[in-house]
Chain A
Amino acid sequence: MVFSRYLFFILSFVAIYAALKVLISKSPMHSVLYLTLAFFAIAGHYILLNAQFLAVVHIIVYAGAIMVLFIYTVMLLNLNIQGEFPKSKFANIASTIAGGLLLLTLIAIFKSYDLKVIANPALNQIGLVKSLGKVLFEDYFLPFELSSVLFLAAMVGAVMLGKKDIY
């Protein structure tokens, strides 16, 4: 138990450091890579909570697919020249205020919500594939299928937009 507590602190430190570096880094490529590191740290947290399926899927979807496409875009758009996009002071102040407001809202939500501390995550079985599959396909069957239809619609839309001549 002591060992996993140390792991928790190390992972949290890595996650927060990487998240800060995403904002601070000058080069967009470095930002994208730090974001990937943050995703890996969060996947580590899932494993500490005994949610192995969630952790692995998190890595496959975020680190494996979405971030690779991000890097792809950064490479192709040639955003690697530092300081190419100077932002105006107004934009900086506005984004800081907007971000701060979001943080405030999140804090307010979590304060009113009674967070339960999981006594022993090793005994918590909900993150394993079997129990998760049962919950998804029995209790939440309709929302699950509806969300898959939503993804299909997004996919078809992307293909239609990417097509140059629609006939």
Chain B
Amino acid sequence: MDGNYILYKFILASAILLISLLVAMYSTLFERKLAGFFQDRLGPNRAGIFGIFQPLADGLKLFFKEEFMPGSADKFLYILGPSLTMMIALLTSAVIPWGNSIIINGVEYSLQVADINVGVLYVFAILSIGVYGIMIGGWASNNKYALIGAVRAASQMISYELAMSMAIISIVMMSGTLSLSEIVNQQHGFHWNIWYQPLGFLLFLVCAFAECNRSPFDLPECETELIGGYHTEYSSMKLGFYLFAEYINMFISSAMIATLYFGGYNFPFMDDLGLSHNAITMIGTIVFFIKISFFGFVFMWVRWTLPRFRYDQLMRLGWKTLLPLALVNIVITGFVIMLKNHS
């Protein structure tokens, strides 16, 4: 039993890791195809049918590029930067419930690696340490542009983390739990949190863009001002790690949005289909991935539609608009909960 349990957790963890990497790999192709569509051109279509082998070609290209390290760089930290970014990007997937449970021979196997009772706080913690990789990399390159990019990244992430946490707190108040699996279970069927927390969802979405360093908030790597921002001095696969981690972050953020606001693996009329528990779980997981893909599309859609913010606009939006709105949202949520308990 014990050995079985360890084996099952091991298989689940490696499967989720592989799926995250695969999704991130193919979202690069998807993004380039979409960019092509938005700019009225074809996008990559040479490697395989519809350019299906393009991510492999890109990866190989990055591996075979020349490694370059600035002479004045701090060698250990220079290598640690991209590695940390990649590692932290992959950490969050452990607490996301990817599906309900599967029952095999009377034993229930949950499709979540770690159902810890402080799941939401764990996500906060990963968010808050996510900036380390960028800061260490930017500082260790010993380059002005990289340093400015790193400093910008740090202040941007700290500012938007606050509003993001405040937005999630109203969800926590509503569901009365910090466990992500419990939050998803309470959204059974069509009782998704988006109907009760539309403002919270909007705040979370905007902050997710800023936390992933995605356009319109990609100030840390703003090409026109900073060349490449924190990864100016990086080349070869180390650069690849930074770029790749951004796509993993996007995937995980989309999964978090779907989990917190769009019911995770729940879908309407799931009890009326009359299917077995395992079949419902399978369909639920597929539905969850459809939701994730939709939000991944929104990320790319916005990137190729909106221009980049100026830095002071970014800070003003974060501190003077999003944070007060999040606080108002908490007060309203608290008020409604109080009224409900009294009636």
Spell out A's residues near B (CB within 8 Å): 27, 29, 33, 36, 52-53, 56-57, 59-60, 63-65, 68, 71-72, 75-76, 80, 128-129
Q: Kindly state whether residue B158 has any CB partner on chain A within 8 Å.
A: yes
Contact partner of A53 (CB less than 8 A), chosen from B74, B118, B129, is B118
Contact partner of B129 (CB less than 8 A), chosen from A57, A64, A75, A76, is A64
Give the interface centre of A36, A57, A64, A65 by most chain B CB atoms within 10 Å: A64
Contacts A52-B118, A56-B124 supplied; 13 other A-B pairs, CB < 8 Å: A27-B74, A33-B136, A53-B121, A57-B121, A59-B125, A60-B124, A71-B154, A72-B151, A75-B147, A75-B150, A80-B139, A128-B117, A129-B117
Interface residues on B, range: 20 to 34
State A36–B125 Cα separation when bound (angstroms).
13
Residue of B nearest to A71 (CB): B135
Question: Is A65 within 8 A of B158, CB to CB?
Answer: yes
Question: Is B135 within 8 A of A59, CB to CB?
Answer: no
List chain B residues, Cβ under 8 A from A76. Answer: 151
Could you tell me the distance in whole angstroms from the C-beta of A54 to the nearest C-beta in chain B?
A: 10
Residue of A nearest to B148 (CB): A75
Contact partner of A72 (CB less than 8 A), chosen from B118, B122, B154, is B154
State A129–B182 Cα separation when bound (angstroms).
15
List chain A residues, Cβ under 8 A from B143. Answer: none
Question: Is B151 within 8 A of A129, CB to CB?
Answer: no
Question: Is A129 within 8 A of B178, CB to CB?
Answer: yes
State A108–B132 Cα separation when bound (angstroms).
38
State A128–B117 Cα separation when bound (angstroms).
8
Q: Kindly state whether residue B128 has any CB partner on chain A within 8 Å.
A: yes
Contact partner of B139 (CB less than 8 A), chosen from A60, A64, A75, is A75
Q: Kindly state whether residue B322 has any CB partner on chain A within 8 Å.
A: no
22 example contacts (A-B, Cβ-Cβ < 8 A) are as follows A36-B132, A56-B121, A56-B124, A59-B128, A60-B124, A60-B125, A63-B129, A64-B127, A64-B128, A65-B128, A68-B158, A71-B139, A71-B154, A72-B151, A72-B155, A75-B135, A75-B147, A75-B150, A75-B151, A76-B151, A129-B118, A129-B178
State A17–B175 Cα separation when bound (angstroms).
42
State A75–B154 Cα separation when bound (angstroms).
11
List chain A residues, Cβ under 8 A from B131. Answer: 68
Q: Enumerate the 5 nearest inter-chain pairs by beta-carbon distance, A residue then B residue, closest first.
A: A64-B128, A56-B121, A59-B125, A60-B125, A52-B118
List chain B residues, Cβ under 8 A from A75. Answer: 135, 139, 147, 150-151
Give the interface centre of A29, A57, A60, A72 by most chain B CB atoms within 10 Å: A60
Within 8 A of A (CB), among B68-99: 74, 77
Residue of A nearest to B130 (CB): A64
Question: Is B117 within 8 A of A68, CB to CB?
Answer: no
Within 8 A of A (CB), among B101-150: 116-118, 121-122, 124-125, 127-129, 131-132, 135-136, 139, 147, 150
